[in-house]
Amino acid sequence: RPSVPATLMHSRLQVGSRQSDVACELGVSQSVISRFAARHKTTGSVWDRPRSGAPRVMDRNDDQYLRTYALTHRYATATQLQACLREVRGTRVSRQTIRNRLHCFGLNARQPLQVTPLTPRHRRDHLQWAQEHVTWTMQQWSTVLFTGECRVTLHRNDAHQHCWRSALRGWSCITSRTSFLLIWTSTSLLIGQTDQWKTPSQLPAHGPDPPGGPQHLC
């Protein structure tokens, strides 16, 4: 059975797309597209050519189950997918085989987009703030307190979490941030000093100004 990237490469080349454009769109090197085009020109097919060695362990039903489960449980690791496939389908394969089959479906382990949950009120406030400050002068900006921050998560490390995601679908995995300790360092051209303070949990989209200090900009 041809892999999903193979059918995509074939369809893109059939409509006259350049190999470099197809490679950029699918997230592969141009040499992969070049070899595929040469093989298709020789064999006239996108199917895998006969190969030596042991036959493939996973059949079409295994592939379909693995793909569906990975899309349903996007944060499952290769080890967890391997165990699930063994328990449900009785198919024993290595973790690398799991990764290889998911790669054939265009699914790769990538970091999800991390966002702070925003309500409609937050979005309205952000838009209003931007509209009010778009014409500010340098003198006005000199009164703003600019801050830098360092995050320390309280429960888990949310910076190294991966999900199974296709490069063609953009940010299809979005996760909210966990609670964390935030350490701020602030500076202002007008004040000419540096302060530090902490907050014990995730800050709201519009936090209050420090006591006795000017407005701040994160």
Structural domain ending residue among the three candidates 108, 124, 147:
108
Are 98 and 138 contained in the same domain? no
Q: Which residue has the tokens 């454009």?
A: 21
Q: Are residues 50 and 135 in the same domain?
A: no
Classify residue 172 by its DSSP letter: -
Task: Point out the domain boundary residue: 63, 83, 108.
Answer: 108
Residue 187 has pLDDT above 50, yes or no: yes
The boundaries of the domain holding residue 129 are: 114-217
In contact, 45 and 85? CB cutoff 8 Å: no
Residue 11: the pLDDT is 84
Percent of the chain past pLDDT 70, that is, above it, reads 68
The structural domain count of the chain equals 2
Q: Looking at residue 189, what is its pLDDT?
A: 62
**136 or 211, greater pLDDT:** 136
Residue 68's Cβ-side half-sphere holds a number of Cα atoms within 13 Å equal to 7
This prediction's pTM: 0.43
- What pLDDT was estimated at residue 68? 92
Residues 6+ apart with CB under 8 A from 151: 180, 181, 182, 183
Say yes or no: 25 and 92 in one domain.
yes
SS3 123: helix
**Domain boundary, last residue among 89, 108, 127:** 108
Q: Are residues 140 and 199 in the same domain?
A: yes
β pairing state of 163-166 and 194-199:
unpaired
What value does the mean pLDDT take over residues 186-191?
64
Question: Is 171 in the same domain as 102?
Answer: no
126 in the same domain as 94: no
Residues 94, 133, single domain; the answer is no
- pLDDT band per the 50, 70, 90 thresholds, residue 48: low
Helix or strand holding residue 154 (H, E) = none
**Does the pLDDT at position 88 exceed 90?**
yes
Instruction: Say if residue 15 is in the same domain as residue 103.
Output: yes
Question: In this structure, are 146 and 211 located in the same domain?
Answer: yes
**Residue range 158-162: mean pLDDT, rounded:** 63
Residues 132 and 199 in one domain: yes
In this prediction, residue 174 carries a pLDDT of 61
Task: Take residue 181 and report the two structure tokens written for it.
Answer: 């300790």
Residues 6+ apart with CB under 8 A from 24: none
Cα(206)–Cα(209) distance, integer angstroms: 9
Residues 61 and 150 in one domain: no
- 119/200 same-domain check: yes
